[in-house]
Amino acid sequence: MSKEEYCVIEYHYGTAKINLFSVHLSTYKDERILACKELNRIISKIDKNEIIIVGGDFNVGVTRLGKGKYTFTKQDEYEEYNILGKKLKKLLNNEDTWFSKLGQGCIDTMFYSNNIELLKYETIDTEQKSDHSIIYAEFNI
């Protein structure tokens, strides 16, 4: 994937409706939980034959310490992921995707509907052009 490509969708043989969601959730846990519940509410209204992919910065485990200062606490489970996991599958990525002077952690991921097959995924280093790594995934639709 070149640095200029953000999203490539190739679909051969017929049509499919794809619902793509890009998220950047709050650094406050209560707001993240509300956002995930709302996302589940929206997803519940989508036809079960349609494809859903949700990706982005979920900020799980992140705590805001002050202006521009954040820390990360790794947990075995995150309530935000458990909420979305009721409707969607989650990538099993666990490599750190966020880096700061005060902490680093795996806070970026993707969720996808049960009607598609995950072929592969990887975490791509941005070589310090961002404080986040890229999550890349390929699906069989």
Q: Where are the domains of the chain?
A: 18-140
How far, in Å, are 109, 124, 135 from residue 132 at the CA level?
11, 9, 9
Q: What is the mean pLDDT of residues 82-89?
A: 97
Average model confidence (pLDDT) across the chain: 89
Q: Which CATH architecture has domain 18-140?
A: 4-Layer Sandwich (3.60)
How far, in Å, are 12, 22, 39, 91 from residue 109 at the CA level?
26, 10, 15, 6
pLDDT at 77 over 60: yes
pLDDT in tens, 95-140: 999 998 878 999 999 999 999 999 999 999 888 788 899 999 999 9
How many other β-carbons are positioned within 10 Å of the β-carbon of residue 126? 13
pLDDT for 12 equals 61
| Cα–Cα distance for residue pair 49/18, rounded to 1 Å | 10
- Percent of the chain surpassing pLDDT 70: 91
Q: What is the mean pLDDT of residues 58-82?
A: 92
H helices present in the chain, as ranges: 29-44, 79-84
Longest Cα–Cα distance in the chain: 51
Q: What is the mean pLDDT of residues 17-23?
A: 93
pLDDT at 54 over 50: yes
Q: What is the mean pLDDT of residues 19-47?
A: 96
Residue pair 119/139 in contact by the 8 Å Cβ criterion: yes
Q: How many CA atoms lie within 13 A of 56 on its CB side?
A: 13
Global model pTM greater than 0.85: yes
